[in-house]
Amino acid sequence: AEALQLSALPPMLQIRDCILRMLAGDRQREGMQALVGKLSKADSVMGVAKLAEDEVVQVLLGEQCTLFFIDQAQEEIWSPPTESLPTGICIGSRQGLVGHVAESALASEKKETFVHTCNDPPSSPYWKGDVKSGFTTRNVMTAPVWSGGKDKDRKLLGLIQVLNKRSCWAEDMGEVPSDYGETDGWTVADERLLVVLAQSVG
């Protein structure tokens, strides 16, 4: 009996994980619809930044989300002070990973669908370290935020960046099983969701 139980364990775990992914997908779709509506109605910098910090991480199952704005006159990329980043962020427009993503997005022939994913940040030559003390970045996904209008008239307004993909095990499912560890990083499906969110911000 014990041998039978052990032989059935791997397929059972696979079935469990499939069910979890389906449940997470349903939750993401519902959350996306609600969040896109909220982002479209937000009418202030702080309002959009707070929505990004509080709710984008819930929809995309991330750990930290930051909305960056681009100041072309000052050649800076900045993020306003928020609850998780009390002093905000301000760097040169060509510095760090966000600076690299901004330049890459501007040069891309597929601006609408451009996303930059890095599942091993320390390996990137543009990586300048974690956003705050005591925080470890395992993976990064960044998408540009464009102004509306036709392609030739669009301007790069900012970037939305999400850190550290979490497992799809929901809090209300109880304690996370010991064998259910961290994910390998962001997927193509995650990238598509971030593009939709970035478009709703712009």
DSSP the chain: -HHHHHHHHHHHHHHHHHHHHHHHHHHHHHHHHHHHHHHHH--SHHHHHHHIIIIIHHHHT-SEEEEEEEETTTTEEEE---SSSTT-EEEETTSHHHHHHHHHHHH-S-GGG--EEES-GGGSTT----SSTT-----EEEEEEE-SS-GGG--EEEEEEEE-PPPS--GGG-SPPTT--------HHHHHHHHHHHHHH-
pLDDT the model gives residue 35: 59
In sequence order, the β-bridge partners of residue 90 are 78
pLDDT the model gives residue 98: 92
Which token pair is 154?
Answer: 């669009």
In sequence order, the β-bridge partners of residue 143 are 160
Query: Structure pTM?
Result: 0.73
* pLDDT band, residue 85 (cuts 50/70/90): confident
Q: Using a pLDDT cut of 70, give the percent of the chain over it.
A: 66
Rounded Cα distance between 64 and 89, Å, is 14
Rounded Cα distance between 85 and 142, Å, is 18
- Neighbouring CB atoms inside 10 A of 60's CB total 24
Contacts of 11 (CB under 8 A, 6+ apart): none
pLDDT the model gives residue 32: 57
Q: Which of 58, 34, 17 is nearest to 166 (CA)?
A: 58
User: Which of residues 138 and 111 earns the better pLDDT score?
Assistant: 138
What average pLDDT does the segment 90-102 reach? 91
pLDDT the model gives residue 128: 87
